[in-house]
Amino acid sequence: MPLLVCGVVAVLLVGLALGSLHAGPALWAAALPLVAAAGALLAAVLVHTPHWTAGPPSGTPAACAAGALGAPALAGLAALAGASSARLWPTALAAVGVLLCGNGLRLLLRGLTWQATAAWLVPALLPIVLVGLPGFGFSLHAFYLDGFGLNREDAQIPALWQVIADAKALVVVAGPLVAVSLLGYARHLHAFRTLGGVSVAALLLLVAFAGAVVLYQTQVIAPAAHAAGTARQQARAGRQPAPYFGIAPRRVCLRPVGEAGWDGAAPVAEHPYLVFPAAGDWAALWDVRTGETVNVKREQYRISDSTAPGC
């Protein structure tokens, strides 16, 4: 049964790839015979598997014919689905990755006690714990606000958006979990020590760390920094920046009301600012012209939206 599932998944992925790439007749002509041959081979193996010692069963030709016809038909249906929606291909790959990861974890933890796995499992999953704790400042919001010289505490972020952003940051879980699942396959194949006696477990934990760092850089830090840069450019061009995971900065002008105080760089009435939503009496602002940050008391300033070059 696992072999059949893997074969069906492989055929579906080939079909989705052909559909998503809008393959031409030449590619189809090359792919279909290979898919048909793979289907026939898979059917033959499935039919023979329970009878390795008893000789080939009589239904082998029919099974091979069904596999040779069914596999291309299944690939064709998957291609139609892939051609109608370009998002199906990455979604299918992600689903297969999750399936393979889950099976690797199952193979790893099968028959093991917690004491036997805690020594390496805890370090492997440490990045997940760190990203899940807002106090460590590893969230999308922290990196976005850092582009304006602000901390996460300087802006009020709705709880739902905090959960969504932190969940996106958990993309680093992919690195450790993939490596840990590979440990499961290594254990299943009795290949824990290879490459001149070097521990496969140690190598895969190194892969987990490196994968987590790369994924975090490309999927969390870089997108947040890019979003902050785009917001700065929009503000300098006289436009209101787009919201970012619940943070909606506004381009405003400041006018003091009576005696006004501030914290940080002195506010300049002629300069436009970006103001970030805050829950307390103080408002965090970023000077569009100079790039400096300042905190002012709300009741001491009149803050009004503005898209003019100056105030």
Per-residue model confidence as pLDDT tens digits over 105-131? 888 778 777 776 676 667 666 656 665
Q: Over the stretch 142-167, which tens digit does the pLDDT of each residue have? A: 899 999 998 888 888 888 888 888 77
Amino acid sitting at position 210: A
3-state secondary structure of 251: strand
| Lowest-confidence region among 88-92, 97-101, 104-108 | 88-92
Question: How far is it, in rounded angstroms, from Cα 178 to Cα 300?
Answer: 54
Task: Indicate the average pLDDT of the chain.
Answer: 77
- Taking 70 as the threshold, does the pLDDT of residue 80 lie above it? yes
Q: Which region, left, alpha or beta, applies to residue 234 given φ > 0 means left and ψ of -120 to 50 means alpha?
A: alpha
| Amino acid 125: pLDDT | 65
**Mean predicted confidence (pLDDT) in 285-302:** 88
- Taking 80 as the threshold, does the pLDDT of residue 294 lie above it? yes
| Amino acid 85: pLDDT | 67
Contact 82, 17 (CB under 8 A): yes
CA-based nearest residue to 71, from 48, 51, 44, 92 = 44
| Amino acid 56: pLDDT | 53
Query: Comparing 97 with 250, which gets the higher pLDDT?
Result: 250
- Most confident range (mean pLDDT) of 42-51, 65-74, 251-260, 285-294 is 285-294
Query: Comparing 231 with 279, which gets the higher pLDDT?
Result: 231
| Amino acid 247: pLDDT | 92
- Taking 70 as the threshold, does the pLDDT of residue 197 lie above it? no
- Read out DSSP for 70-126? HHHHHHHHHHHHHHH-TTHHHHHHHHHHHHHHHHHHHHHHTT--HHHHHHHHHHHHH
| Lowest-confidence region among 94-103, 147-156, 231-240 | 94-103
Q: Over the stretch 18-51, which tens digit does the pLDDT of each residue have? A: 776 676 777 777 778 888 888 887 777 776 655 4
- Taking 70 as the threshold, does the pLDDT of residue 62 lie above it? yes
Task: Indicate the pLDDT class of residue 88, thresholds 50, 70 and 90.
Answer: low
